[in-house]
Structure 1
Amino acid sequence: MHFILPYFIIILVLIQLYIKKSDTSQKNNIKKFWEREQKANATRKKDISTLKYIEWDTTLPVKGNNTLLSDILKNNPEADSAYNKIISVKDKNIINLTEYSNTDLKLKYGVANLEALTEYEDNYTLLIKNLAVLGHILKEQDDITDATHYLEYSIRIGSDIRSCYADLKDIYISQNHTEKLEKLRQYASLIKSVNKELIINLLND
């Protein structure tokens, strides 16, 4: 018992030191966060007209002149909803800002631009989510040509949605397009979100 007590005391001391160090580190992080946030809120408005906005693909299949697509949309409410949401952002500003936090955006472009940039990012999120949904449904309905077109557009504009890559992988393998599969891996390597490794592993599996 006498031999155990000193070790017990040492362990308690080490635990206290660790807790104290953690508290200090947390306080420093909180302080840095609020200092950065204060600086961001004081940043003046900057020109955002030269940002890399998403270009609309004017060759995307549309139901007005595509019988197969029109029939699928007519009989599948989920596909029709996704299609309409895609079209709804056609003439809006769209930009991929997923790698930035709100504080980052305010620091880079000024607090006055945050609302607009958030809207443009929301348009992007809406677009890639529904491209993934529509592409998957079209693939399941054996409209491979149109599915490929929607899914490839999503990948080109930086989508990090796993199902897009999974569906295109299946299509390329079934069509023996090994060169397109390699191109898909290259796009995956450019992803800047937490899904990057998951998607790369999917493509290499």
Structure 2
Amino acid sequence: MIMILSIIFTLGFISILIRSSSSKTNKNRETASKTFWDREREANFVRKKDISNLPYIVIPMESLPFQDTDNSDINRYQDTIKRLADRKLLNLSNQTNTDLKLAYGAANFPFLMDCDNRYTELIRTLQQWGKALYNSSNLSGASTVLEFAIACKTDIAASYTLLGDIYSSSNSTEQIKSLLEAAKLMNSPNKNTVISYLKSLLCE
């Protein structure tokens, strides 16, 4: 009988703890949701601000390895880069939509999103172009393209690892070290994997 009462008491206590924990979780969610929507409402009324001095990305057309080639993939990537060179590009990956509206005004938000979308297209195309050049044995060209991608703070892991492979093939230890430092600033779930890979290249 005592054992049964003990079990009932224990189960009752556990049930209370679960309900209490669930109540706290729901309250935290409600608080977070209210905070989010309060900020969002505030952001939607922020007046348009000057965005002419934002860190727009400039594509260095004179230093990238454009070439006449029969490779249709490389030609397509080059055409994309040339098209993007005439447009505004911004890396806004570290800021939420609400942050952007609060900082620069709701009226600027569509334009800023276009800039960020073009940035995404840029770093994706640079990776594809660099890989295509690498596959065609143009390591110098691939290195130049990928180095620009890194300078643009790309979060594409393959750009770091491929450039690391190129540096490793020429025993460029100092360049791998510099690339490793850049990788530590990545905003990507693959950050630690990239760092580990680059460190392994230094041990070869």
Same fold (TM over 0.5): yes
Higher relative contact order (CA 8 A, sep 6+): 1
Match of 1:137 in 2: 132
Match of 1:55 in 2: 58
* Aligned amino acid, residue 12 of structure 2: I
CA distance in 2: counterparts of 1:198 and 1:49, whole angstroms: 37
CA distance in 1: counterparts of 2:47 and 2:191, whole angstroms: 33
Size of the aligned set, in residue pairs, is: 196
- Is the alpha carbon distance of 1:43 and 1:198 closer, same or farther for their aligned partners in structure 2, counting shifts above 3 Å? farther
* Aligned amino acid, residue 96 of structure 2: S
Pick aligned residue for 1:98 from 93, 100, 104: 93
Match of 1:27 in 2: 30
Does residue 120 of the first structure (1) align with residue 115 of the second (2)? yes
Give TM-score scaled by structure 1 length.
0.90
CA distance in 2: counterparts of 1:8 and 1:78, whole angstroms: 66
Residues 127, 158 of structure 2: 8 Å contact kept: yes
Q: Tell me the SS of whatever aligns to 2:5.
A: coil
Give TM-score scaled by structure 2 length.
0.91
Match of 1:67 in 2: none
1:127-177 deviations in Å (ceiling 9; x for gaps): 100100110121122111111111111111111111111111111011011
Query: Structure 1, unaligned stretches of length 5 or more?
Result: 64-69
Residues 136, 163 of structure 1: 8 Å contact kept: no
Residues 57, 152 of structure 2: 8 Å contact kept: yes
Query: Structure 2, unaligned stretches of length 5 or more?
Result: none
CA distance in 1: counterparts of 2:191 and 2:107, whole angstroms: 31
Match of 2:11 in 1: 8
Does residue 81 of the first structure (1) align with residue 76 of the second (2)? yes
- Paired-residue identity, %: 35
Alignment RMSD (CA, Å): 1.4
Residues 43, 106 of structure 1: 8 Å contact kept: yes
Residues 189, 200 of structure 1: 8 Å contact kept: yes
